[in-house]
């Protein structure tokens, strides 16, 4: 709620406009009633001619048409406010994500992030588009109507004042009760409502076991159970509206009786005043009821606001960069690196030296921090402690663009963007990169056969709306990106499972080729890769347990022997 | 739409009761305002006091009646709505059941089911928001119009015009506009969602190729377009509403002006002027639900269209052949070719495999090699384009799929578990399965569960390995003579896998068994290993033969060996 109010308070101009419009609306209702009453009075009691009321009819029509006009402008304000807030929040979220690499790099959370960006932000709409304008309107209008009635006829005004608090009070009491009741029924409701989907999802299983026909009963039972549980909750809600309607009807009846008596018996009030009050009273109670209903409208946005708040409040640690260009074929060094994030994976006291052109392999059990290490080496995020050195200089002295110009990262699951294969290989390269160069890169990455099979070759659309490529094919596109870029550092997350033979061979050959002009750091799973490495880092629980060449480690490290030996026997 | 009404109309009593109560609520409200207008006019004429008392009592009575009938209307209409929902689900299930599981193959999108459930849920609005509001509206208006006829034909006609305008013409026009706008919103929304997915899933690649800023800017632009489109919808809705109120106001204004004129020329008693104006000002409240009518109408129409088109699918041709075998039988693939609908490359190309009765066959190959398609075809979920599959002596083309399913123990890659208990999920294997058999089955699959342990929706409280073991436990209880298993142990560790395979082979002794496997371990005991790539059989033979041959299988095995077990 606090967040929502804060975002609303940023929209001061619109809120002020809504406030003024609400005052206007109250005035218009009063004006409309005033002229209506006077016209009828003139015609009915004063027996005036039609001509005398024409000017008043003109005013009345004006007021009557002003009402929807104001409502429309008010709605426009609500729409504008919700658009402003949605724009602002989406921009803030995106800003956060693009500048907050650690969070974004945790791939598993991407799905929930998209939900926040889409559903949660859209979930704010009802609050800003409906609730806020409604609340302002429903708080201002009754006050103006009350003032008008008090001015005209004090007694009626007093009745209105005394009865008014019962309406919001009832809403609150009943709202709480319904909420409690629905919470009690929540599990039951969820179970009942999920049953239909559950059965449909299991239809294949049911069929294979020959048990699908009897499910009809089960669906009916659970649906009726759902009905009965829901009705229990709804009954309270309906009873609340009943009570509210009853209260307002009773109050109006009271006012009517009072002015009726005063009109007939005591002659202490004029027809005009009496009728005026009688028209305003229902408007007054209707506005109050709207205020109560508004609270229900606003509720829905609370959960959405919570989700957005959590996302915006997460800590961000942008990577720092400088302005120096990265030298050709740099040496890379990680020095005393410590790292941990909320997921719990940590790196402790990491020291690694990768001379220009070297081939390094990182091995270790799942969860030992290998991928995190690769991400730090890539410059995707800064370690909170420790340093990354390029040719002995801290990396934050060098410029971001010259660094990323020298790095390629071939992950286990490279992302293909919507577009053609060519665009996917070209990614980020200068616009004048020749088509031949792309073709050459694709060929080196072993894509020629696939491209020949495709009618449109390099121009085949891939990604979301296009053709799906297999995991092996995607990795080959990532390789082609690397061949085109010709980096001096290649980071490679080797597949954990066996691929098809062809991709296996292509990967090996390509890495050998890239190694001719680049240093290579591989998170390795294949014995072959490890044996080829100039230096192997064995990671255990975030620490480097052993480092050296294959023969060094075979001699010195028990853990290494166990790991590689186990692999060979597996 | 017709089918929908047929299902709905089953709840006749509640439907007519809702309409009746709705009409009473609307009419009492109109009467209340009319009466108060009349009352105040009458009072101005200094009538005897008892008239005022009687009428004031009448006002209170009408007020109570209005609140009471509104309550009853809501109650009955919602109860009817949920009963209709139940009827819809049952009726739709009855239509869908014979089509499954083949239909899931035809609609390859995973969200088909969620869509069905969503569409059925949308249809519940049909009664509440589409069917009965116009009925109530028309009844209330016509009764009121009939009443006003006694005072002035012209005013009655005015109200009739107002009914048409606010109840039908304006909402209809608005709906036409909204339809186009909604289409735009859906499009923009899909764009934004896709762009956001690209940014988040492709973050690393974007960053490394220095195209992140570009993508960020593009995403902001897409987000802006989406908001603009939503804005259009909001404005057109607000515009429609304002227009409707303006129309109602205009009608009431003309009622007043015309009424006043009639009074001055003596055609109408001034006593009734306030009453007619009050009626007119109030009656248009009844048209408010019509504002959402077109949108709901459109939604339910589309949902019904989609649902009934699925339900209207031809059920698979009913075959008469049955598999009579009590014992196990052979499976013979003869030159089978198959392509998934909408794909260019065939998933299986000239596949011939021979599985004599009682033998054990493994099919291996990288993902996408077509090995799972083998199972789909065996279960008759898809039909071969060319070639034939023989089950025992009979062609699969003439055998009822139900008969295949009942003769086989099938384990798919994704196995469904139902909300309930472990017992519920095991009992599916057969009504005659006893408690001790279930317990034994759990023991054999090394599952530490009790029979009354809960299983959540889709088995989400079970790990991948537990799901596979529970599926296996369920299969152990089925006792069919042929086993068809698609990667039954992919989530198990080597040790558990070994143990469960030991039990499996005991259970399947003498039975024909087909095992589709991603891993190459533990295949030494199989009578035959079939290696597939790109939908074709590359080689086949026993483990020893294939290793000796040093062909494709041998090389795969070498790679698997060299991959570290970490």
CA torsion, ordered A219, A222, A224, A230, to nearest 10 deg: -140
State how far residue A336 is from chain B, nearest Cα, in angstroms.
24
> Which residues on A lie below 8 Å from B239 (Cβ)?
72
> Which residues on B lie below 8 Å from A227 (Cβ)?
79, 82-83, 85-86
If one compares B336 and A249, the residue with the highest pLDDT of the two is: B336
| Residuewise pLDDT in 10s, chain A (570 residues) | 678 888 888 888 999 999 999 999 999 999 999 999 999 999 998 888 888 899 999 999 999 999 999 999 999 999 999 999 999 999 999 988 887 665 555 545 677 788 888 888 988 888 898 888 988 998 899 999 999 999 999 989 999 999 888 887 777 777 777 777 767 766 677 677 778 888 888 888 888 888 888 888 888 888 888 888 888 888 887 887 888 888 888 888 888 888 888 888 888 888 999 999 999 999 999 888 887 777 666 777 877 888 888 888 877 677 888 899 988 888 999 998 888 765 555 788 889 999 998 999 998 876 677 888 888 888 888 888 888 999 989 998 999 889 998 999 988 888 888 888 999 998 888 888 889 999 999 998 988 888 887 888 888 888 765 666 777 788 889 999 999 989 999 999 887 766 677 778 888 888 888 888 899 999 988 888 888 899 999 988 888 888 998 888 888 888 888 877 644 433
What's the rounded Cα separation, in Å, for the pair B320 and A535? 68
**Which of A336-340, A343-347, B221-225, B339-343 is least confident?**
A343-347
* Residue B231 near chain A (CB below 8 Å): yes
pLDDT on residue A453: 78
> Which residues on B lie below 8 Å from A524 (Cβ)?
564
* Residue B101 near chain A (CB below 8 Å): yes
Structure tokens at A63: 């007021």
Does the CA dihedral B398-B399-B402-B405 come out positive or negative?
A: negative
CB contact under 8 A, A227 and B369: no
**Which of A502-516, A555-569, B69-83, B386-400 is least confident?**
A555-569
Tally of CB atoms within 10 A around A453: 11
CB contact under 8 A, B101 and A470: no
CB contact under 8 A, B82 and A498: no
Nearest to A245 among B66, B97, B241 (CB): B66
Three-state SS string over B86-153 comes to: HHHHHHHHHHHHHHCCHHHHHCCCCCHHHHHHHHHHHHHHHHHHHHHHHHHHHHHHHHHHHHHHCCCH
Q: Residue A178 contacts by C-beta under 8 Å, 6 or more apart in sequence? A: A233, A236, A237, A240
> Which residues on B lie below 8 Å from A274 (Cβ)?
40, 43-44
How far apart, in Å, are the Cα atoms of A209 and each of A180, A206, A458, B410?
Answer: 41, 5, 47, 9
A29 membership: H or E segment, kind and range? helix A12-40
CB contact under 8 A, B260 and A215: no
> Which residues on A lie below 8 Å from B219 (Cβ)?
94
pLDDT in tens, B493-530: 778 888 899 999 999 999 999 999 878 888 888 999 99
CB contact under 8 A, A409 and B199: no
Which domains does chain B possess? Answer: 2-311 (1.20.1560.10), 331-562 (3.40.50.300)
> Which residues on A lie below 8 Å from B518 (Cβ)?
497
Where do the H-state alpha helices sit in B265-370?
273-283, 293-311
pLDDT above 70 for B139: yes
Which is nearest to A119 in space by CA: A93, A148, A155?
A93
Nearest to A364 among B83, B209, B566 (CB): B566
> Which residues on B lie below 8 Å from A122 (Cβ)?
230
> Which residues on B lie below 8 Å from A365 (Cβ)?
566
- CA-based max dimension of chain B: 118
**Which of A225-229, B117-121, B317-321, B345-349 is least confident?**
B317-321
pLDDT band for position B147 (cuts 50, 70, 90): very high
Interface test with B, best of A196, A412, A479 (most B CBs within 10 A): A196
What DSSP state is assigned to residue A396? Answer: G
Interface test with B, best of A82, A112, A200, A569 (most B CBs within 10 A): A200
> Which residues on A lie below 8 Å from B457 (Cβ)?
194, 198
CB contact under 8 A, A125 and B82: no
SS3 content of chain A, % helix, strand, coil (to 5): 70, 10, 20
Task: Report whether B347 contacts B339 (CB < 8 A).
Answer: yes
What's the rounded Cα separation, in Å, for the pair B121 and A223? 11
CB contact under 8 A, A526 and B562: yes
What DSSP state is assigned to residue B174? Answer: H
Asked if the peptide bond before residue B36 counts as cis, ω within 30 degrees of 0, the response is: no
What's the rounded Cα separation, in Å, for the pair A524 and A546? 15
* Residue B210 near chain A (CB below 8 Å): yes
How far apart, in Å, are the Cα atoms of B39 and each of B32, B231, B500?
Answer: 10, 46, 87
CB contact under 8 A, B44 and A113: no
pLDDT band for position B31 (cuts 50, 70, 90): very high
pLDDT on residue A236: 81
Which is nearest to B405 in space by CA: B379, B431, B377?
B379
Pairing of strands A332-340, A385-390: antiparallel
> Which residues on B lie below 8 Å from A414 (Cβ)?
205
What's the rounded Cα separation, in Å, for the pair B123 and B129? 10
Give the Cα-Cα-Cα angle A446, A511, B561 (nearest 5 degrees): 95
Task: Report whether B501 contacts B515 (CB < 8 A).
Answer: no
CB contact under 8 A, B561 and A567: yes
What's the rounded Cα separation, in Å, for the pair B528 and B359? 8
Q: Which residue has the tokens 């992030």?
A: A113
Average pLDDT value over all residues in chain B:
87
> Which residues on B lie below 8 Å from A238 (Cβ)?
71, 74-75, 78
pLDDT on residue A465: 58
State how far residue B182 is from chain A, nearest Cα, in angstroms.
15
pLDDT in tens, B456-503: 877 878 888 889 999 999 999 988 999 999 988 887 877 888 889 999
Nearest to A242 among B67, B117, B412 (CB): B67
Which domains does chain A possess? Answer: 1-146+296-318 (no CATH), 154-268 (no CATH), 319-406+521-559 (3.40.50.300)
Burial label for B423, CB within 10 Å (0-12, 13-18, 19+), is: middle
Half-sphere exposure of residue A67, counting CA atoms within 13 Å on the CB side? 24
CA-only gyration radius of chain A, Å: 36
What's the rounded Cα separation, in Å, for the pair A558 and B18? 80
How far apart, in Å, are the Cα atoms of B252 and each of A52, A273, B33?
Answer: 20, 21, 14
Q: How far is CA A26 from the centre of its chain?
A: 38
Interface test with B, best of A498, A531, A561 (most B CBs within 10 A): A498
- Strand-pair partners of B360: B513
CB contact under 8 A, B563 and A200: no
pLDDT above 50 for B366: yes
Q: How far is CA A471 from the centre of its chain?
A: 28
Which residue of chain A comes nearest to B405, CA vs CA? A208
> Which residues on B lie below 8 Å from A569 (Cβ)?
561
Nearest to A568 among B194, B518, B561 (CB): B561
CB contact under 8 A, A223 and B86: yes
> Which residues on B lie below 8 Å from A198 (Cβ)?
418-419, 457-458
CB contact under 8 A, A40 and B260: yes
pLDDT on residue B109: 44
pLDDT on residue B108: 46
CA-only gyration radius of chain B, Å: 35
CB contact under 8 A, A501 and B89: no
Structure tokens at A221: 């039972």
CB contact under 8 A, A242 and B245: no
Give the Cα-Cα-Cα angle A300, A301, A307 (nearest 5 degrees): 120
pLDDT on residue A570: 31
Mean pLDDT, rounded, for B258-285:
91
Half-sphere exposure of residue A387, counting CA atoms within 13 Å on the CB side? 11
CB contact under 8 A, B419 and A101: no
* Residue B103 near chain A (CB below 8 Å): no
What's the rounded Cα separation, in Å, for the pair A448 and A316? 43
CB contact under 8 A, B238 and A76: yes
> Which residues on B lie below 8 Å from A200 (Cβ)?
93, 96, 113, 116-117
Half-sphere exposure of residue A11, counting CA atoms within 13 Å on the CB side? 26
* Residue B316 near chain A (CB below 8 Å): no
What DSSP state is assigned to residue A341? Answer: -
State how far residue B356 is from chain A, nearest Cα, in angstroms.
23
pLDDT above 90 for B17: yes
């Amino acid at each position: 709620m606090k967040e929502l109010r804060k975002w609303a308070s940023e929209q001061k101009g619109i809120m002020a406009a809504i406030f003024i419009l609400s005052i206007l609306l109250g005035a218009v209702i009063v004006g409309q009633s005033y002229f209506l009453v006077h016209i009828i009075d003139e015609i009915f009691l004063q027996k005036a001619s039609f001509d005398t009321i024409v000017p008043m009819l003109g005013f009345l029509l004006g007021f009557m048409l002003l009402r929807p006009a104001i409502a429309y402008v008010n709605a426009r304000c609500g729409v504008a406010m919700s658009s402003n807030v949605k724009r602002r929040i989406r921009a803030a979220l995106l800003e956060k994500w693009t500048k907050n690499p650690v969070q974004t790099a945790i791939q598993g959370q991407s799905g929930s992030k998209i939900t926040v960006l889409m559903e949660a932000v859209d979930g704010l709409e009802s609050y800003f588009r409906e609730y806020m304008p409604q609340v302002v309107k429903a708080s201002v209008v009754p006050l103006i109507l009350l003032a008008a009635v008090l001015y005209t006829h004090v007694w009626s005004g007093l009745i209105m004042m005394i009865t008014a608090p019962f309406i919001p009070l009832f809403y609150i009491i009943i709202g709480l009760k319904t909420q409690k009741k629905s919470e009690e029924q929540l599990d039951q409701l969820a179970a009942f409502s999920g049953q239909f989907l559950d059965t449909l999802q299991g239809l294949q299983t049911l069929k294979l076991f020959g048990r699908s026909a009897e499910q009809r009963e089960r669906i009916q039972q659970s649906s009726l159970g759902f009905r009965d549980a829901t009705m229990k909750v709804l009954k309270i809600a309906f009873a609340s509206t009943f009570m509210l309607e009853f209260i307002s009807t009773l109050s109006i009846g009271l006012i009517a009786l009072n002015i009726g008596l005063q009109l007939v018996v005591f002659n202490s009030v004029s027809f005009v005043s009496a009728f005026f009050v009688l028209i305003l009273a229902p408007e007054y109670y209707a506005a109050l009821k709207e205020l109560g209903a508004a609270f229900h409208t606003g509720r829905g946005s609370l959960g959405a606001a919570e989700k957005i708040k959590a996302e915006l409040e997460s800590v961000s640690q942008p990577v720092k960069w400088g302005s120096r260009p990265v030298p050709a074929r740099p040496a890379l060094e990680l020095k005393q690196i410590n790292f941990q994030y909320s997921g719990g994976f940590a790196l402790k006291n990491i020291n690694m030296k990768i001379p220009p052109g070297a081939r390094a392999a990182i091995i270790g059990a799942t969860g030992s921090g290998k991928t995190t290490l690769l991400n730090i080496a890539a410059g995707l995020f800064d370690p909170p402690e420790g340093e990354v050195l390029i040719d002995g200089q801290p990396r934050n002295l060098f410029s971001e663009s010259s660094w990323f110009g020298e790095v390629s990262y071939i992950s286990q699951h490279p992302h293909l963007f919507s577009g053609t294969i060519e665009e996917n290989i070209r990614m980020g390269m200068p616009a004048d990169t020749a088509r031949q160069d792309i073709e050459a890169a694709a060929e080196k990455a072993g894509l020629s056969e696939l491209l020949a099979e495709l009618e449109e070759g390099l121009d085949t659309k891939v990604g979301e709306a296009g053709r799906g490529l297999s995991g092996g094919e995607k990795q080959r596109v990532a390789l082609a990106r690397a061949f085109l870029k010709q980096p001096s550092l290649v980071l490679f997350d080797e597949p954990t499972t066996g691929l098809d033979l062809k991709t296996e061979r292509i990967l090996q050959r390509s890495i050998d080729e890239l190694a001719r002009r680049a240093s290579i750091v591989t998170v390795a799973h294949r014995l072959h890769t490890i044996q080829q490495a100039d230096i192997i880092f064995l990671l255990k629980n975030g620490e480097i347990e052993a480092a050296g060449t294959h023969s060094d480690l075979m001699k010195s490290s028990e853990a290494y022997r166990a790991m590689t030996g186990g692999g060979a026997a597996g | 739409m017709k089918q929908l009404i047929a299902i709905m109309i089953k709840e006749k009593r509640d439907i007519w009761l809702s309409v009746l109560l709705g009409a009473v609520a609307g009419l009492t409200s109109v009467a209340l305002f009319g009466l108060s207008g009349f009352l105040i006019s009458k009072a101005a004429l200094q009538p005897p006091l008892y008239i005022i008392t009687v009428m004031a009592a009448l006002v209170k009575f009408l007020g109570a009646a209005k609140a009471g009938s509104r309550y009853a209307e809501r109650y009955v209409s919602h109860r009817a709505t949920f009963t209709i929902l139940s009827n819809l689900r049952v009726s739709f299930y009855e239509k869908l059941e014979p089509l499954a599981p083949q239909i899931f193959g035809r609609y390859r999108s995973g969200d088909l089911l969620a869509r069905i459930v969503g569409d059925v849920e949308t249809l519940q609005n049909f009664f509440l928001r589409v069917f009965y509001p116009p009925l109530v509206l028309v009844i209330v208006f016509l009764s009121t119009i009939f009443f006003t006829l006694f005072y002035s034909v012209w005013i009655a006609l005015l109200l009739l015009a107002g009914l048409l305008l606010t109840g039908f013409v304006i909402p209809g026009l608005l709906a036409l506009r909204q339809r186009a706008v909604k289409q735009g919103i859906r499009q923009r929304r899909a764009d934004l969602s896709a762009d956001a997915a690209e940014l988040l899933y492709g973050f690393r690649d974007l960053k490394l190729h220095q195209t992140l800023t570009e993508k960020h800017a593009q995403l902001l632009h897409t987000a802006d377009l989406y908001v603009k489109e939503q804005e259009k919808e909001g404005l057109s809705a607000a515009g429609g509403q304002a227009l409707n109120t303006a129309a109602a106001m205009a009608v009431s204004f003309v009622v007043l002006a015309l009424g006043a004129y009639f009074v001055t020329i003596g055609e109408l008693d001034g006593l009734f002027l306030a009453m007619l104006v009050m009626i007119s000002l109030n009656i248009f409240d009844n048209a408010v639900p019509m504002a959402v009518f077109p949108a709901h109408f459109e939604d339910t129409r589309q949902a019904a269209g989609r649902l009934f088109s699925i339900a209207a699918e031809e059920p698979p041709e009913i075959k008469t052949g049955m598999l009579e075998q009590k014992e196990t039988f052979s499976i013979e693939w003869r030159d089978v070719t198959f392509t998934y609908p909408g794909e260019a490359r065939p998933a299986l190309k000239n596949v011939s495999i021979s599985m004599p009765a009682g033998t054990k066959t493994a099919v291996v190959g990288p993902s996408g090699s077509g090995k799972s398609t083998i199972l789909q075809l065996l279960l008759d979920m898809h039909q071969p384009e060319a070639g034939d599959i023989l089950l025992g002596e009979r062609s699969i083309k003439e055998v009822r799929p139900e008969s295949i399913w009942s003769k086989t123990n099938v384990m798919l890659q994704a196995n469904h578990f139902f909300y309930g208990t472990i017992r519920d999920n095991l009992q599916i294997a057969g009504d005659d399965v006893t408690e001790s058999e279930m317990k034994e089955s759990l023991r054999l699959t090394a599952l530490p569960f009790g029979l009354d342990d809960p299983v959540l929706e889709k088995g989400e409280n079970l790990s991948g390995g537990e799901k596979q073991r529970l599926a296996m436990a369920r299969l152990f209880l089925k006792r069919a003579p042929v086993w068809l298993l698609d990667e039954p142990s992919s989530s198990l560790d080597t040790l558990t896998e070994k143990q469960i395979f030991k039990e499996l082979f005991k259970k399947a002794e003498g039975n024909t068994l087909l095992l589709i496997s991603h891993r190459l371990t533990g295949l030494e005991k199989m009578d035959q290993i079939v290696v597939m790539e790109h939908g074709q059989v590359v080689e086949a033979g026993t483990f020893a033969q294939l290793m000796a041959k040093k062909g494709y299988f041998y090389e795969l095995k070498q790679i698997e060996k060299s991959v570290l077990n970490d």
